[in-house]
Chain A
Amino acid sequence: MSKRTTGGLMAVLAFAGVSLSAGAQDPRMTPKLDNPSKAAVQAIVDSAKAQGVPTDPLLDKVKEGLARGADNAHIVAVVRNLSVELANAQRVLGANASADEIKAGAYALHAGVPAVELGKLKKESGRLRSLANAFTVMADIVSRGVPVGTATNAIRSLVGAGAKDKDINDFQQKVKVDIDQGAPPAAAAETRAKPAPVKPEDRE
């Protein structure tokens, strides 16, 4: 384990310890991992670190679990599951992927997007394009009921057509509103992803 990671984990654990003494009036402010859970989390973080998987999301997940009052065993299980998803995301996204893309990719996997689809999109989009936002929106629309195939096709067509993150966010908002108004999720995503007419200067 590197000094940095050890420091990060110790900070999380120490933080919880400080809260124990400082926040007696609020149960949410008194979270603490027991020693076996600390050891289990540390082993997961060590393993992730050894694979080059970003470890900050794992530490954030511990904090989230503590803040939400989850029991220790549950926190450890969730952190372990996330470490697997981060490793899978990193494997399919390749060495060019940023930590943010891996994190967003892991959450897209969690939502049910197949790993191979993330890899395809990354390969098609080139190394300079960050897909963190695209993966986030993909996960969102899948969680709103858009079938996985429809969601991945929609995002791929948007990214392939050169859509910026702002355009992809607009797409997400429109799909959300359509679904909230009663549209079938698949139809909403398919319709909203249709490309705009080609501008004359692009027809060369």
Chain B
Amino acid sequence: MEMIVEELQRPVVLDASFERRVMVRVRRFHAQNRARRGKLARVAASITHHPAWTAAIAASLVAVTTFGIMNGRLRTPAVSGAAIEPTRFVLVAPTAQSVSVVGDFNNWGLGDSALVATSNHGVWSVTAQVPAGVHRYAFVVNGKDWRADPTAPRSPGDDFGMPSSALVVEEGSK
């Protein structure tokens, strides 16, 4: 069986014209689509001056937005195209005066971007909108004490002498 598989795994090389043929189809579709969009834009421009059309469009936009929210999590695309997932961070620190969360997803707190957690009898928590993907983060207690998340995998990239944790956010995982 190994010999059969080895034989079947040999590469198949297509000739150079393949890519050209695909791109001919793609460019044709692109051109048609652009023409269609241009036509729609012209139609839209002509109806925006009509009060009845304007009211109808405004009503449909409200309906779409409401539908999106009512049917579950409203996902916002990140710059990279990854979905945004709500992620909850929790740290038990009964004597802390303040706890914040910093990481790849919020510029490590630079420029006042740290996520400020709230305390419920020393159980500090905050929910952040985190893009799907691999992240590193840490808690900052009392503005100066950097701590890893004791419940999360450790991140080995402890390059600056302070611990951090690893977070893998899957799309639709929460």
- Residue with the greatest number of chain B CB neighbours at <10 A, chosen from A15, A67, A100, A144: A67
Question: CB distance B157 to A110 under 8 Å?
Answer: yes
Question: CB distance B110 to A19 under 8 Å?
Answer: yes
- B residues 122-161 near A (Cβ < 8 Å) are 133-134, 136, 143-144, 146, 151, 153-157, 159-161
- Give the number of residues in B that approach A within 8 Å (Cβ atoms): 29
Question: CB distance B156 to A139 under 8 Å?
Answer: yes
Q: Is A70 an interface residue (CB 8 A)?
A: yes
Partner of B166, one of A15, A63, A139, A173: A139
How many inter-chain contacts with C-beta < 8 Å in the A-B complex? 104
Question: CB distance B108 to A63 under 8 Å?
Answer: yes
Question: CB distance B159 to A139 under 8 Å?
Answer: no
Question: CB distance A142 to B156 under 8 Å?
Answer: yes
Given contacts A15-B110, A103-B133, A103-B134, list 18 more A-B pairs with CB under 8 A: A19-B110, A23-B112, A28-B109, A63-B107, A66-B108, A67-B102, A68-B161, A74-B160, A78-B160, A107-B166, A108-B156, A110-B156, A110-B157, A132-B133, A133-B170, A140-B154, A165-B168, A172-B153
A-B contact pairs, 13 of them (CB 8 A): A26-B143, A60-B104, A60-B108, A60-B136, A67-B108, A67-B109, A68-B162, A78-B159, A82-B157, A99-B133, A100-B133, A172-B153, A173-B151
Q: Which residues of A contact B (CB under 8 A)?
A: 15-16, 18-19, 22-23, 26, 28-29, 31, 56-57, 60-61, 63-68, 70, 74, 78, 81-82, 99-100, 103-104, 107-108, 110-112, 132-133, 136-137, 139-140, 142-144, 165, 172-173
